Amino acid sequence: MASIDGTTNSDVEKAEELKLLANEAFKAHKYHQAIELYTQAIELNNQNAVYWANRAIAHTRLEEYGSAVQDATKAVEIDPRYSKGYYRRGAAYLAMGKFKEALKDFQQVKRICPNDPDANRKLKECEKAVQKLRFEEAIAVQDYDRHSVADSIDYRSIDVEPQYAGARIEGDNVTLDFVKKMMDDFKNQKPLHKRYAYQIVLQAREMLRATPSLVDITVQNGDHFTVCGDVHGQFYDLLNIFELNGLPSEENPYLFNGDFVDRGSFSVEVILALFAFKCMSPSAIYLSRGNHESKSMNKIYGFEGEVKSKLSDTFVELFAEVFCCLPLAHVINEKIFVVHGGLFSTDGVKISDIRAIDRFCEPPEEGLMCELLWSDPQPGLGRGPSKRGVGLSFGEDVTKRFLQENNLELLVRSHEVKDEGYEIEHDGRLITVFSAPNYCDQMGNKGAFIRFKAPDLKPDIVSFSAVPHPDVKPMAYANNFLRMFS
């Protein structure tokens, strides 16, 4: 027997079976598989709000917050009294930093379930976050009135206590011996003295400020070059990359392609190690901005809280300034374009346009800089809306045209978890590389890096598994209410 919308009883039963399979996949952290199964259930019965809300939370786990909002919205359209729909949309809005929209959804949850203690607790946290946001907006100084915090710091005037036994920088130069000692201390969870932390970050700022928005890298014939993707505060996995592939040096140079911090709870150790290598030898390591090198992301996903806990409030401001100095893209031997996110909403963007971006700011919500940091490839042709709710999705034809118009051969980008640590798409013209294995201690993925050897620069991809780390959970320093949802 068929219902008004053409759904038969057997469709309904089959859809329920698929939902149960999807729930099992979700519990096993197989979120892509869960989404596929919920999608099949929805195709058989698209009037069940639960399927849409469940698919929304699977999207949230993959950081596809734009898709999560769409699915949760569909769930509450089908059943306006379905509290989980509002709840999951609110959680996705929170993850996007859209606190005011999230607040409306949690208020709706409270109306539907006035006696749910969990919903009340989350509503209170969200109200606090929105109040704090309004307060910060009210006291924010216009950019042109703001003085650089870096200019007000004199690290030389900071005394080092005689009992300090950690790594020390003698004079002005960061040496390999210092970096090794510092990383060893970090490995044993010993902090670096603030004087040396300031010295590293301020010196890195000077170097990064002097670089263009798009950096050209030359690899001589017979030499090699390594590109790593997101590390996301996974310091012990970063050490493992250096074990597998050698420390950064002029003979063994690296590019780390953004998202050094947030989520993983050793982000301070990661960023100080990368900046220290930059100070030691500018051509041993190149650093690209990711979408998480921004104030709004750091406020939500843990870096700000971690910096306050391990260093100080002044360092929060200082890192925000330095992140605005990071270049946005790199080109290797005029052949390989490397960027954190992806391509653009319009055709005809030239390398010279990227060079001309004034990057010394927080990432805007649209335009070339935003798209470089946020976009993702899609399997279909053309362009589509972003699963993340920021940037866009771009197809193989877009990649091919961009490369052809700029006389390039390959696009390398990061920004997305991949099961093997990498994925080759768009007829071999695009490679995603992601270097945080078992991301957030739960995705079970491998990490990867790519070695290129000149002159042919064929990608040699190395996958690796996660290594153990001290018992500090990912997101340990994240915004209070965000931890409630993770």
CA-CA-CA-CA dihedral for 413, 418, 422, 424, to nearest 10: -80
Counts for the chain of helices (H) and strands (E), in that order:
18, 14
Contact 435, 450 (CB under 8 A): no
Residue 181's closest CA among 194, 168, 193, 171?
168
CA-angle at 273, arms to 222 and 214, nearest 5°: 55
Residues 6+ apart with CB under 8 A from 397: 381, 382
DSSP per position, 372-428: HHH-EE-SSSSEEE-TTSSSEEE-HHHHHHHHHHTT--EEEE--S--TTSEEEETTT
Residue 260's closest CA among 309, 204, 334, 182?
204
Contact 233, 265 (CB under 8 A): yes
Compute the distance between CA of residue 460 and CA of residue 453 in angstroms, rounded to an integer. 8
Please give the C-alpha separations between residue 144 and each of 140, 370, 394, 399, in angstroms, as whole numbers.
11, 21, 35, 37
How many Cβ atoms from other residues are within 10 Å of residue 429's Cβ? 18
Residue 122's closest CA among 133, 108, 132?
108
Please give the C-alpha separations between residue 2 and each of 8, 13, 38, 47, 296, in angstroms, as whole numbers.
4, 13, 21, 14, 49
Within its chain, how far is the Cα of 336 from the centroid?
22
Catalytic residues: 292
Within its chain, how far is the Cα of 43 from the centroid?
32
Alpha helices in 48-116 (DSSP H): 49-61, 65-78, 83-95, 99-112
Residue 457's closest CA among 213, 218, 214?
218
Compute the distance between CA of residue 316 and CA of residue 426 in angstroms, rounded to an integer. 39
Contact 299, 479 (CB under 8 A): yes
